[in-house]
């Protein structure tokens, strides 16, 4: 019996060391790649003049698509904010996904809308469209409002895609705030194609909590006062600056945030649009688009733009946060397992050999292993076999390394976009880094495990339950202005 435990202990402890080294080694490698890519990017973009797109007859046109569900309180401002984006030829398509509040009435009134007869092709299947509205007022000629029956976010996006008339589509969460030049900056990569088709570009999501927002614009950027959003700032900074930049360079980027992304319309339609059965529809679309291009032997790229273009409210209560992460986990798992064909499959190049396995091991498996590790140590401690110095040192190593990664993230941010300018705020971020592994990470870990659990038991009652669940979730979460559909991000172990 004792022998068995000793062997187990040996395997687990050495295994954990190796795993830890592997995990942290990967993160370090990613961080280094990101640093190199960031440096190049910052230099490249130090003097790009995006304004040339503003009045060029050769500039592409953009359809901005924003699904809305029960956003009554803020929808009018959100729309105005979208309409005042700096771009020349674009349309803003708002899809009212069967809201049960007065969203539609408010919008019709505020923008002087009237129903129009617009003929469009049902390229993607969606819930029926009830009516299409445009404004009588020429100042709002860019606005199109679609009223349809409820079908969920993915369904609403697909309806928008059906109606889009312009060259590119840009999907956005209606309550996110975009920087004025966002469309200009996102469009540029599509114009620099050289052999590789650019199928999508995505960016960074920044946290707007505690920022001063006036009339739908961010007038002053501040670090969130509350604990949870501040933690998330750190998380997002790590994920976006040190993770995705590297993946973009390696062309293995698996995810474009649902909160803001731009796509080649033809490829999206050819792939069948967003999948309405899933919780993590934005990630899955990108994976599917990449697969499609690879399977058709087309050279392509997915571009990642590190500039802070999109600001959103992050969950500030535990309840909403855990629910969000739980949902992200399930979304990640959906995409991972649906497209398991990619796993170490050389046909898909970087996506299959690096991207998918990375997500599999480090995003999905790592938290599970961590959880098992914790359970193991608790058991061992209770049974009285602990190797305390080893345990504590291991804990210390992991703790310190996590802090190191966070410090590096803060440094990255400082040396690149440095949106948090006051020294006081930088110090706060560093202190937050120290607190995160102790107070915040366990919460995330818990939600992730719960998400896993739900995924495995919920499998049979998929589809329909999820879609209804969406609507319920929306109602309950709205009191804290959570952003629906902010997509699975990199989760640290």
Partner 1 sequence: MKILVCEDDYMVIKAIEHKLTREGYEVDIANDGRMATEKLKTLTYDLVITDLLMPFSGGLELINLMKNEMKKETPIIVLSKVGNEETIIEAFKLGADDYLTKPFSPNELSIRVKRFLIKR
Partner 2 sequence: MTAGIKTIRVVFTILGFLLVSMLSFEASGANAPEAIVNASPSSVEISESPTPPYGSSNPSLKPTELSANGTWEWFVNRYRQASLKVKILLVIVIYLIISLTLLFLFIIINRTIKSRERRQAKEIKEIYQDELTGFLFGEDNQTFEFTGINHNVNREIFIDELISLHNNLYGEAANRLRDLYFNLELYKDSLQKVSSGKWNVKAKGFRELAQMDVKDANRHIAKFINSKNKILRMESQVALVKLNEEDPLGYLDELKYKLTEWEQINILNSLSYHQINIESFDRWMDSSNDSVVIFVTKLAGLYKQLQSWPRVLELLNHKNPEVRRAAVKTLDMFEVSENASLLKEVYFKDQPVEEKEDDVFYNLHLDRNRLAVIEAMGTIATPDDLPFFEQVLRIEKNFDILKKTTAIVHDLDPGGPELLNRVMTGSTDDLKKIIENAKQIAVQ
Angle at 266 between CA 124 and CA 301, to 5 degrees: 125
H/E run at residue 328: helix 318-338
Does 11 sit near partner 2 (CB under 8 A)? no
Residue range at the interface with partner 2 (CB under 8 A); choices 117-125, 367-375, 457-465, 474-482: 117-125
Partner whose binding site includes residue 346, from partner 2, partner 1, none (CB under 5 to 8 Å by kind): none
DSSP letter (8 states) at residue 100: S
Nearest to 343 by CA among 331, 324, 326, 357: 357
Cβ–Cβ < 8 Å for 304, 282: no
**Cβ neighbours of residue 202 closer than 8 Å, sequence gap 6 or more:** 253, 255, 256, 257, 260, 261, 262, 286, 302, 303, 304, 305
Smaller CB distance to partner 1: residue 27 or 90? 90
Q: How many CB atoms lie within 10 A of CB 229?
A: 19
Does 59 sit near partner 2 (CB under 8 A)? yes
Min dist. Cβ of residue 215 to partner 1 (A) = 5
Does 438 sit near partner 2 (CB under 8 A)? no
Q: Which of 372, 422, 456, 465 binds partner 2 (CB under 8 A)?
A: 422
**Cβ neighbours of residue 30 closer than 8 Å, sequence gap 6 or more:** 242, 243, 246, 247
Does 141 sit near partner 2 (CB under 8 A)? no
Does 375 sit near partner 2 (CB under 8 A)? no
Q: What SS3 class is residue 205? A: strand
Q: Which of 8, 24, 26, 86 binds partner 1 (CB under 8 A)?
A: 86
**Cβ neighbours of residue 468 closer than 8 Å, sequence gap 6 or more:** none
Binding string to partner 1 for residues 51 to 80, with x set by CB under 8 A, is what?
Answer: x--xxxx----------------------x
Min dist. Cβ of residue 131 to partner 2 (A) = 14
Smaller CB distance to partner 1: residue 228 or 309? 309
Q: Which of 137, 421, 468, 476 binds partner 2 (CB under 8 A)?
A: 421
Tokens of 241: 């600056």
Q: At residue 92, what are phi and psi to the nearest 5 degrees?
A: -115, 115
Residue range at the interface with partner 1 (CB under 8 A); choices 4-12, 124-132, 209-217, 297-305: 209-217
Min dist. Cβ of residue 89 to partner 1 (A) = 8
Q: Which of 371, 401, 446, 462 binds partner 2 (CB under 8 A)?
A: 401
Does 372 sit near partner 2 (CB under 8 A)? no
Does 387 sit near partner 1 (CB under 8 A)? no
Tokens of 378: 């608790």
Near partner 1 in 108-147, by CB under 8 A: 137-139, 141
CA distances from 199 to 126, 256, 299, 302, 466 (A): 23, 11, 10, 6, 29
Smaller CB distance to partner 2: residue 192 or 475? 192
Q: Which of 212, 266, 337, 379 binds partner 2 (CB under 8 A)?
A: 266
Please report, as ranges, the residues that interact with partner 1 according to CB under 8 A: 51, 54-57, 80, 84, 86, 88-89, 137-139, 141, 180, 214-215, 217
């Amino acid at each position: 019996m004792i022998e068995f435990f000793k062997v187990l202990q040996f395997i687990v402890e050495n295994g954990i060391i190796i795993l830890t080294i592997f995990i942290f080694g990967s993160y370090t490698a990613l961080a280094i790649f990101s640093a190199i890519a960031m440096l190049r990017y910052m230099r490249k973009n130090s003097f790009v003049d995006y304004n040339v797109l503003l009045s060029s007859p050769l500039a592409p046109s953009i359809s901005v698509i924003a699904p809305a569900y029960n956003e009554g309180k803020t929808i009018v401002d959100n729309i105005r904010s979208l309409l005042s984006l700096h771009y020349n030829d674009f349309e803003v398509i708002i899809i009212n996904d069967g809201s049960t509040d007065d969203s539609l009435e408010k919008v019709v009134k505020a923008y002087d809308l009237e129903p129009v007869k617009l003929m469009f092709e049902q390229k993607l299947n969606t819930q029926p469209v009830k009516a299409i509205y445009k404004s009588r007022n020429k100042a709002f000629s860019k606005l199109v409002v679609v009223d349809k029956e409820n079908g969920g976010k993915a369904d609403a996006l697909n309806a928008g895609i059906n109606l889009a008339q312009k060259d590119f589509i840009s999907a956005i969460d209606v309550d996110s705030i975009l920087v004025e030049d966002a469309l200009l900056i996102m469009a540029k990569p599509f114009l620099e194609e050289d052999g590789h088709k650019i199928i999508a570009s995505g960016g960074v999501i920044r946290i707007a909590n505690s920022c001063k927002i006036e009339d739908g614009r961010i007038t002053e950027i501040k670090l969130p006062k509350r604990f949870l959003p501040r933690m998330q700032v750190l998380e997002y900074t790590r994920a976006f600056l040190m993770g995705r930049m590297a993946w973009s360079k390696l062309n293995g980027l698996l995810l474009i945030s649902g909160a803001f992304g731009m796509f080649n319309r033809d490829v999206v339609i050819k792939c069948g649009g967003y999948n309405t059965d899933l919780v993590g529809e934005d990630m899955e679309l990108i994976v599917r688009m990449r697969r499609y291009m690879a399977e058709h032997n087309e050279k392509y790229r997915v571009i990642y733009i590190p500039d802070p273009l999109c600001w959103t409210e992050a969950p500030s209560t535990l309840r909403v946060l855990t629910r969000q992460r739980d949902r992200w986990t399930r979304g990640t798992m959906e995409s991972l397992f649906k497209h398991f064909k990619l796993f170490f499959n050389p046909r898909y190049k970087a996506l299959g050999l690096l991207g998918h396995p990375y997500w599999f091991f480090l995003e999905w498996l790592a938290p599970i292993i961590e959880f098992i590790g914790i359970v193991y140590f608790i058991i061992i401690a209770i049974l009285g076999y602990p190797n305390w110095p080893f345990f504590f040192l291991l804990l210390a190593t992991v703790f310190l390394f996590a802090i190191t990664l966070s410090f590096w993230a803060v440094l990255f941010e400082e040396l690149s976009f440095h949106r948090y300018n006051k020294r006081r705020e930088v110090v706060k971020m560093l202190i937050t880094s120290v607190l995160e592994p102790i107070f915040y990470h366990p919460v995330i870990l818990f939600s992730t495990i719960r998400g896993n659990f739900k995924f495995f038991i919920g499998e049979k009652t998929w589809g329909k339950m999820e879609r209804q669940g969406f609507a319920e979730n929306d109602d309950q979460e709205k009191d804290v202005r959570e952003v629906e559909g902010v997509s699975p991000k990199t989760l640290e172990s």
